[in-house]
């Protein structure tokens, strides 16, 4: 099929100073994001999260196949089932499966097998990576760079939620296949991660950790 091209819109050229200002403000705001593990039960308007998902699904993807699916979970019973299954896996992880070096790496975060936030937060967004798609005639459609694509969309989602004033936590119980059953998703989809979303609990605390010095992670040639 020949490419179908249309004019690029939405890029009015900005003065360098305007760019500097915008980049700085965005950097300062995004840098204040923290992963939160204690959530209040304050509800979040559904349309706010849907709008953030609208930002996420605008992400670039391999051959524009958009190999993702997002399930918004707000039903208390479903959240409870997810918590129970996740805690079962996490118990095995923390007490049997995890090698010592992994447990040491996690120690500064203070995480353990208890995951009350899966029930307490008003919304879980379960992100699925579609290993392949299905075309109009029911045939398998190849997807490309699936994990890169879903990772980028997830990054946009986390940033959009932060911009909307919401806290989030990336949570990856391992293995996560139980999510397909609970959420009725096909085996062509693999759970990528759970994004826990809501307002931080009053008095919420976060680990006292820092980011690597900028010059150690960025070089010029
Ligand atoms: N999935 C476990 C363990 C865990 C792993 C990593 I890597 C983290 O950055 C944090 C936790 C849990 O959620 O507790």
Treating both helix axes as pointing N-terminal to C-terminal, what angle do 16-31 and 146-163 enclose, rounded to 10 degrees? Answer: 90
Determine the pLDDT at residue 1.
83
Determine the pLDDT at residue 189.
97
- Digit-by-digit pLDDT tens for the chain (221 residues) are 899 999 999 998 999 999 999 999 999 999 999 999 999 999 999 999 999 999 999 999 999 999 999 999 999 999 999 999 999 999 999 999 999 999 999 999 999 999 999 999 999 999 999 999 999 999 999 999 999 999 999 999 999 999 999 999 999 998 999 999 999 999 999 999 999 999 999 999 999 999 999 999 999 99
- 174 falls within a domain: yes
| Residue 161 CA, ligand 1 centroid: distance in Å | 21
CATH of the domain at 132: 3.40.109.10
Q: Comparing C-alpha atoms, which of 190, 72, 50, 182 is closest to residue 121?
A: 72
Q: What are the residues whose beta carbons fall under 8 Å from the beta carbon of 170, sequence distance 6 or more?
A: 35, 154, 158, 193, 194, 195
- 156 falls within a domain: yes
- 64 falls within a domain: yes
Our count of domains for the chain comes to: 1
- 86 falls within a domain: yes
| E strands, 20-130, in order | 68-73, 123-130
Residue from 172, 173, 195 to probe ligand 1 pocket by mutation (most atoms less than 8 Å from CB): 172
Residue from 34, 35, 37, 93 to probe ligand 1 pocket by mutation (most atoms less than 8 Å from CB): 93
Return the residue matching tokens 């709008």: 51
- 215 falls within a domain: no
Determine the pLDDT at residue 107.
95
Q: Comparing C-alpha atoms, which of 193, 168, 184, 199 is closest to residue 78?
A: 184
- 154 falls within a domain: yes
- 31 falls within a domain: no
Q: What range does the domain containing 180 cover? A: 36-200
- 142 falls within a domain: yes
Q: Which two tokens stand for residue 95?
A: 């007490």
pTM score of the predicted model: 0.96
């Amino acid at each position: 099929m020949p490419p179908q091209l249309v004019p690029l819109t939405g890029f009015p050229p900005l003065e360098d100073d305007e760019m500097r200002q915008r980049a700085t403000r965005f950097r300062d705001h995004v840098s204040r994001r923290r992963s939160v593990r204690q959530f209040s039960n304050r509800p979040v308007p559904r349309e706010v999260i849907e709008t953030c998902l609208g930002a996420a699904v605008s992400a670039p993807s391999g051959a524009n196949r958009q190999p993702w699916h997002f399930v918004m979970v707000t039903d208390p019973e479903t959240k409870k089932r997810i918590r129970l299954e996740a805690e079962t896996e996490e118990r095995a992880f923390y007490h049997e499966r995890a090698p010592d070096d992994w447990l040491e790496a996690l120690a500064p975060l203070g995480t353990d097998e208890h995951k009350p936030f899966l029930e307490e937060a008003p919304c879980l967004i379960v992100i699925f990576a579609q290993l392949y798609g299905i075309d109009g005639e029911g045939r398998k459609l190849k997807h490309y760079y699936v994990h890169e694509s879903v990772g980028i969309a997830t990054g946009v989602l986390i940033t959009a939620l932060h911009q909307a004033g919401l806290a989030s936590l990336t949570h990856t119980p391992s293995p996560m296949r139980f999510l397909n059953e609970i959420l009725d998703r096909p085996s062509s989809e693999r759970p990528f991660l759970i994004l826990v979303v809501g307002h931080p609990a009053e008095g919420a605390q976060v680990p006292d950790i820092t980011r690597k010095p900028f010059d150690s992670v960025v070089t010029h040639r």
